[in-house]
Structures are given as structure tokens and as C-alpha cells.
Structure 1
């Protein structure tokens, strides 16, 4: 089976409809055999009270891109993915603009995937560094 970037991005962006990802305006923009990229605008929708990017919004972006990336490695008709642990270090604040999250696989097991997700600003400065563990489960019909 060959990798089809356009099909992956279309499927991931379709996952966003009527979800938190759509509410936060996340968009999947690039994919490879071992990575997935999504963007999210930084605006009042994702601010905390001081007018900065909310850490929870960064974590939502990280978990969304990492979980979707795990879906690239499973058969969606027979399996589904659940995030089971996430950690985040918020290293730089951001008031406006765009952040980009890139999930790269660290470990791809039969039932556990481990991802590193780097969230950067428009100048490639690191905003948050996250680690996500996902579990692959049999799909319940």
C-alpha cells in the first residue's frame, strides 16, 4: 500500500467537522509516512484571560494531531485510536498569529504509539513541546 498524502489530509480534515478541532479552527496541512502537521490560529477563541494562547488549546492541538497521526497506521474499519497520556511543556507565549504542530512518531507498536509534537510559531520558534501516547483498540461496531 502506498502513502497518499492528499487522501490522508482529506480524511484528517474531514474528522474535524462538528468537533473541538473545527471550533478551534485546526487544519491539517502536511503529512508524510511518519509525521502529520496541523495549524491553529491564535486569536481570542484560544486565549486565556491575559490574552495569551491558552495551554489547554495547545494541548488540544497536540492531542488532535497526534491522534490523527496514529490513524494513519491503523485500518479505520477495524481499529480506532484513543489518546491515553499527554504531557506538555509550554515554552513561549503567543498572542496572535498561527501555530503549527508537527507530530513525529517515536514508537510504533501494535497497540501503543508514542508521538513527539512540536508546536512552533511563524518564525519556527518553539511554543510547546508535547509527548502523546495513543492506544490502538479494536473498533466497536
Structure 2
């Protein structure tokens, strides 16, 4: 029996308990054959001292959704995923609402993956563009 989208998202979000994702209220909200979307509320919890979204929180959202996307598309019984490098270009400030990060693959290799992660606000304005490279490594037996 194939898992429904709702069941998959619930399982994905339950894996975030007691992690940075839970601390930042990051939630997986949509996925498809080649993408995964997460969202994060913009509140004082993720502000810089001057009251705007912190770029580090944006990068944490991007790395979370990108790493999770790599994780769901590999053989997790025998492999695990780790981030290698993340870059983020921040283009617009945000002070409230939600931001959304959509991860899509630029390269989906057996060992390395490269993801494009576009971060937008609720009005679909581009907030940041991120790139994440991940590596899939064998689990020790």
C-alpha cells in the first residue's frame, strides 16, 4: 500500500521532533516527484536584532528542506545523507508571515546531489536563492 501525501508529510514532520527544525517551527508542506517544500514562520524567534528575518534562519530552512529531499530519494536502509556545502544569496527582507523553501534537484547522483532551493514569501516574492550539495554515504554494518 502506497503512503498518501498527508501520511508522508505527517511522518516527515514527526521526524523533526527535538531538532533545530522543531525549534524554528519548520514544517514540510508539499512534495512531488522532483521537489519538496517546507515553510517557516517569520517571528521574533528568527529575527536579527533589527527585526528582520535572519539569513542564518533562512539557510537553516534551506538546508533542512534540501537535506530531507536528498534523504527521501535514496535508499535509507543502506545509506545516509549529509550536507557538504550551502550557499545563500539573500535578496529581500521579511518581517512577518511565512517563508517557503522549495528544493529541486539540479543533479541527483548516487553519491552526490545538488539542489536548488528557492525561498519565497507568502506573495511568492523571491527572498533567497540557495544551493545545497549533499553526499550519500553507506551506513556501517
5+ unaligned residues in a row in structure 2: which ranges?
A: none
How far did 1:140 drift?
3.3
How far did 1:3 drift?
7.8
In structure 1, how many angstroms separate the alpha carbons of the residues matched to 2:3 and 2:118?
Answer: 23
Provide TM-score, normalisation by structure 1: 0.94
RMSD over aligned Cα, in angstroms?
Answer: 1.6
Answering whether residue 34 of structure 2 is matched by residue 24 of structure 1, we say no
**In the TM superposition, what whole-angstrom CA distance separates every residue of 1:85-136 from its partner, at most 9, and x where no partner exists?**
0000000000111000000111000100100000000100000000000000
**In the TM superposition, what whole-angstrom CA distance separates every residue of 1:19-47 from its partner, at most 9, and x where no partner exists?**
00000000000001110000000000000
In structure 2, how many angstroms separate the alpha carbons of the residues matched to 1:74 and 1:7?
Answer: 19
Closer, same or farther: CA 92–44 of 1 in aligned 2, 3 Å: same
Q: Does structure 2 conserve the Cα–Cα contact (< 8 Å) formed by 1:99 and 1:122?
A: yes
5+ unaligned residues in a row in structure 1: which ranges?
A: none
2:79 alignment counterpart? 79
Provide TM-score, normalisation by structure 2: 0.94
Q: What SS class does the counterpart of residue 56 from structure 1 fall into? A: helix
